């Protein structure tokens, strides 16, 4: 099967598009002329964004649970059927740690994080490769949302940290394997973007020394600008790892 070029549009898939970083990035890409497949588990916020008349019909809702490999396969098939190709995947969907100390978690609580943050990302990368390697022109770009927890953990974050460390390895491996298909794979590591998921930082979170401290936050629009920049590069250039963070957050000096 060969997928033909759609000369009139650049096609992006954004997972976790219903809120936070995914929503802000979807808006940034739309404002830059992309056609965006908005992906998330909750249909309502996706359809609300897609219905915005200012987006000129370039935003389209595709409800999907990325932890379900069959659903992800159907998602990519539906996007290709509608638009003919995929030029960009922002692999953004994720979830935070279960509450409480990890020694009290059930196996299902551990698995709930792994299924989305790691397996879900892999399923999306896999399907993106299957599309991008056969379309004409061949290739595309994948940007994984890593988090600064891909290199440095917070206290009580073992599931989130483990999956994000794994995402970093997956990014490097996919970047290597994508070369022969002109698929550029990179990762954005974000520190304290102000979203619903991270709002607790502004109220105080545990530090490595046991203290509770308020941490500086970063406007989510800055993150969206960073993703848009990475997406704008030609396929013979790649940002392998990009860290964007609140300047005064304690990340650089953690511990």
Is residue 182 a part of any domain in this protein?
yes
Sequence-distant (≥ 6) Cβ neighbours of residue 218 within 8 angstroms: 190, 191, 192, 193, 194, 244, 245, 246, 249
Is residue 37 a part of any domain in this protein?
yes
Is residue 96 a part of any domain in this protein?
yes
Cα–Cα distances in Å, from 197 out to 15, 89, 170, 202?
15, 22, 23, 11
> What's this model's pTM, rounded to 2 decimal places?
0.91
What is the spatial distance between Cα 169 and Cα 149, in angstroms, rounded to a whole number?
A: 13
- Active site residue: 160, 181, 194, 229, which one? 160
Q: Which residues of the chain have pLDDT under 50?
A: 1-2
Alpha helices for 51-179 (secondary structure H): 69-83, 107-114, 121-132, 158-177
Q: What is the pLDDT of residue 254?
A: 57
What is the spatial distance between Cα 72 and Cα 122, in angstroms, rounded to a whole number?
A: 10
Is residue 91 a part of any domain in this protein?
yes
Q: What is the pLDDT of residue 1?
A: 46
Q: 32 burial class (0-12, 13-18, 19+ CB within 10 angstroms)?
A: middle
What is the spatial distance between Cα 15 and Cα 91, in angstroms, rounded to a whole number?
A: 6
Is residue 185 a part of any domain in this protein?
yes
Its domain, for residue 36, covers: 11-247
Q: What is the pLDDT of residue 136?
A: 97
Q: 1 burial class (0-12, 13-18, 19+ CB within 10 angstroms)?
A: exposed
Cα–Cα distances in Å, from 64 out to 5, 107, 185, 247?
25, 24, 22, 35
Is residue 252 a part of any domain in this protein?
no
Q: 237 burial class (0-12, 13-18, 19+ CB within 10 angstroms)?
A: exposed
Number of structural domains the chain divides into: 1
Helix, strand, or coil (residue 54):
helix
CATH (domain of 16): 3.40.50.720
Cis peptide leading into residue 87 (ω within 30°):
no
Is residue 16 a part of any domain in this protein?
yes
160 is catalytic: yes
Is residue 6 a part of any domain in this protein?
no
What is the spatial distance between Cα 22 and Cα 31, in angstroms, rounded to a whole number?
A: 14
Phi, psi of 168 (to 5 degrees): -60, -40
**pLDDT per residue over 134-184, tens digit each?**
999 999 999 999 999 899 888 888 999 999 999 999 999 999 999 999 999
């Amino acid at each position: 099967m060969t997928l033909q070029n759609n000369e009139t549009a650049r096609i992006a898939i954004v997972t976790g598009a219903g809120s936070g970083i995914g929503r802000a990035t979807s808006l940034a890409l739309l404002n830059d002329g992309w056609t965006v497949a908005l992906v998330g588990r909750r249909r309502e916020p996706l359809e609300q964004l897609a219905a915005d008349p200012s987006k000129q019909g370039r935003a389209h809702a595709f409800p999907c649970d990325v932890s379900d490999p069959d659903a992800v396969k159907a998602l990519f098939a539906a996007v290709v059927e509608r638009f003919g190709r995929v030029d960009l995947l922002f692999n953004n969907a994720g979830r935070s740690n279960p509450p409480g100390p990890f020694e009290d978690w059930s196996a299902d609580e551990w698995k709930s994080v792994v299924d989305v943050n790691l397996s879900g990302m892999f399923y999306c990368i896999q399907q993106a490769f299957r599309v991008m390697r056969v379309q004409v022109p061949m290739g595309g770009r994948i940007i994984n949302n890593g988090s600064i927890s891909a290199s440095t953990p917070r206290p009580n974050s073992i599931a989130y940290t483990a999956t994000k460390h794994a995402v970093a390895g997956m990014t490097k491996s996919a970047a290597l394997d994508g070369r022969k298909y002109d698929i550029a794979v990179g990762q954005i590591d974000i520190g304290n973007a102000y979203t619903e998921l991270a709002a607790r930082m502004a109220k105080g979170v545990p530090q490595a020394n046991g203290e509770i401290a308020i941490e500086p936050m970063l406007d989510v629009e800055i993150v969206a600008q960073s993703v848009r920049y990475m997406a704008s590069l030609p396929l013979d250039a790649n940002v392998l790892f990009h860290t964007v963070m609140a300047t005064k957050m304690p990340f650089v000096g953690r511990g």
